[in-house]
Chain A
Amino acid sequence: MLRMEDVTVAIAGVQVLRSVSLGLTSGRTTILIGRNGAGKTTTLRAIMGLLPVEAGAVHLGEQEIGTTPAYQRAAQGIGYAPEDRRLVPEFTVEDNILLPALALSLPAPERARRLDEVYALLPQLLTMRTRPGGGVSGGQGKMVALGRALMVARTALLLDEPFQGLAPALALDYARTLGELRRGRPDLAILITESTPALLDAIADETLQIERGAIN
């Protein structure tokens, strides 16, 4: 579904990804494991189009999207939840979740359908939907960021260290949610990064290791 082929990325003149190749399949969850600084975030940002790719190719289905701007990749259904939540503090939680619908000019029925889907998967969000984005805790913010990414995701979902900073109970909850998502959304190819794999064993279809910018 989504493939990276021999992708090389440099940030500020330093090679951060070296010839990275990976393939994601609809309905399957891939885990990308690596230490701090290994290149996990960079891999996701390269797929999303937030960093220029120096060499190699990124394919979504049959289409090469290596030079497509990030906002168009979002329109093609690639959803991304960054590791730091990045909510708009002035907007309510619900408006943060709805922001992609506004950006992509989704028609009202489609917008409502996707929002219902998000609330069905993450009912915790319903209780905080009117709170300002700047006024939720770190863990709650991660849920909001997941909800927002799900509004975008039609083909692929990229989650950057979703468990980082979550209390154990919340992390278990979150892992269950991701399992549900994998079963309930066969259209989505899911890629999750982690530094500690334990929680994801149950839902991983495939596990990749990244080390110093290269996948073994």
Chain B
Amino acid sequence: MLDTLIPLAVDGLASAALIFFVAVGLTLVFSVLRVLNVAHGSFYAIGAYVAASIGLWIASAGLNPWLSFPALVFSAAIVAALFGPLVERCLMRWTYGKSEAIQILVTFGLFLILEDLQRIVFGVRSLAEDTPMQLLGSTQIGDVVYLNYQLLLIGLAVIVVVGLRIMLTKTRIGRLVTAVVADREMAQSIGINTNRVFILSFTLGVFLAALGGALATPTAGAAPGLGAETMVLAFAVAAIGGLGQIEGAALAAIIVGLARVLAIYFAPSLDAVAPYIVMLVVLLVRPYGLFGQAATRRI
């Protein structure tokens, strides 16, 4: 029994880690910009395509295969640098303080643009590149075999949770972000350049989404339609955790990840809907999510 449950749990946690990267970026951007970015999942998809392309290029150029690890993070950084400041300055900032309907329309427009861009640049084929997973191999404990790459994903997610929390509470920029989340106008009037905080937070959100996509390629590759699929899942996770809640997103990702593998194992037909069943149940009991509060805005 344990021999099937533990590998299932590792599977679940590894997929939780990937979706966590996307959901925490979504939640961070929502806290600071107060815009629910419907196009957020597209950065995951683009991150996946860029990472797979760079990975394939490293392989075909005959470079040291271990380069494919830094290449994953580098891919996410490229996507963030390319899209973060540009999209925030040219598009997102026009939606601040506007009605939610406008914000959703504008970011949905962005989603369509990014989907087309992805199709133009990468075509409609799927890419597969699993060098990092092959290189790390597997570990056998007892009768159970673990993919080391999955353990790496779980470790990275833990580092991101802890790192974000430390950044927000201990560093100068993190404390300025917290002040902007608490009250934008107050933040400006005590000397905070809120535009810089917006650019930075949005770019960090893009980076985290693209990192999720890049880290997913060794196990899942990159395929058309990834953006929309990821967005819906990330939104479910962010809503379960409570919008704006970092630790909430982490816990919600774990719950959703485990629910999915349990569904795959015990009731395969429920695999795709399992996250939404969890969301429904949680939101019925706690309408603002597990960690969410109606009144105060936290991060």
Binding site for B on A (CB under 8 A): 48-50, 69-71, 74-75, 80, 82, 86-91, 95, 99-100, 102-105, 134, 148, 151-152
Who on chain A is nearest to B172 by CB?
A: A102
Give the distance in Å from the alpha carbon of A82 to the alpha carbon of B194 in the complex.
18
Q: Is A50's CB under 8 angstroms from B175's CB?
A: no
Residue in B176, B192, B298 whose beta carbon sits within 8 Å of that of A90 in the complex = B298
Chain B residues whose C-beta falls within 8 Å of the C-beta of A134 in the assembled complex: 296
Q: Is B192's CB under 8 angstroms from A71's CB?
A: yes
* Stretch of B28-36, B182-190, B209-217 on the interface side: B182-190
Chain A residues whose C-beta falls within 8 Å of the C-beta of B188 in the assembled complex: 49-50, 69-71, 74
Give the distance in Å from the alpha carbon of A71 to the alpha carbon of B196 in the complex.
11
Who on chain B is nearest to A95 by CB?
A: B175
Q: Is B191's CB under 8 angstroms from A89's CB?
A: no
Question: CB-defined interface of B241-258 with A at 8 Å, one 1/0 digit per residue?
Answer: 000000000000000000
Q: Is A80's CB under 8 angstroms from B175's CB?
A: no
The 8 closest A-B pairs by CB, nearest first: A74-B191, A103-B191, A70-B188, A86-B186, A100-B190, A88-B182, A104-B191, A103-B192
**B178 in the interface (beta carbon within 8 A):** yes
Binding site for A on B (CB under 8 A): 172, 175-176, 178-179, 182-183, 185-194, 296, 298
Q: Is B296's CB under 8 angstroms from A89's CB?
A: yes
Who on chain A is nearest to B176 by CB?
A: A103
Q: Is A75's CB under 8 angstroms from B179's CB?
A: no
Chain B residues whose C-beta falls within 8 Å of the C-beta of A100 in the assembled complex: 190-191
The distance from the CB of A73 to the nearest CB of chain B, in whole angstroms, is 8
Chain B residues whose C-beta falls within 8 Å of the C-beta of A74 in the assembled complex: 188-191
| 25 CB < 8 A contacts A-B | A48-B189, A49-B188, A50-B188, A50-B189, A70-B185, A70-B188, A71-B189, A71-B191, A74-B189, A82-B185, A82-B186, A86-B182, A88-B178, A88-B179, A89-B182, A90-B182, A91-B178, A100-B190, A102-B176, A103-B179, A103-B187, A103-B191, A105-B172, A148-B190, A152-B191
Q: Is B298's CB under 8 angstroms from A152's CB?
A: no
Q: Is B190's CB under 8 angstroms from A88's CB?
A: no
Who on chain A is nearest to B189 by CB?
A: A80
Give the distance in Å from the alpha carbon of A48 to the alpha carbon of B296 in the complex.
26
Assess A50 versus B185: contact at CB under 8 Å? Given A91-B178, A102-B176: yes
The distance from the CB of A103 to the nearest CB of chain B, in whole angstroms, is 4
Chain A residues whose C-beta falls within 8 Å of the C-beta of B178 in the assembled complex: 88, 90-91
Chain A residues whose C-beta falls within 8 Å of the C-beta of B185 in the assembled complex: 50, 70, 82, 86
Give the distance in Å from the alpha carbon of A86 to the alpha carbon of B188 in the complex.
12
Give the distance in Å from the alpha carbon of A48 to the alpha carbon of B191 in the complex.
11
Chain A residues whose C-beta falls within 8 Å of the C-beta of B296 in the assembled complex: 89, 134
Chain B residues whose C-beta falls within 8 Å of the C-beta of A70 in the assembled complex: 185, 188-189
Who on chain B is nearest to A76 by CB?
A: B191
Question: A70-B188, A103-B187 are known contacts; what are 11 more A-B pairs with Cβ within 8 Å?
Answer: A70-B189, A71-B191, A71-B193, A82-B186, A88-B178, A89-B296, A91-B178, A99-B175, A102-B172, A103-B192, A152-B191
Chain B residues whose C-beta falls within 8 Å of the C-beta of A88 in the assembled complex: 178-179, 182-183
Q: Is B189's CB under 8 angstroms from A99's CB?
A: no
Who on chain B is nearest to A82 by CB?
A: B186
Chain A residues whose C-beta falls within 8 Å of the C-beta of B189 in the assembled complex: 48, 50, 70-71, 74, 80, 82, 152
Residue from B185, B188, B191, B296 whose CB has the most chain A CB atoms within 10 Å: B191
Chain A residues whose C-beta falls within 8 Å of the C-beta of B193 in the assembled complex: 69, 71
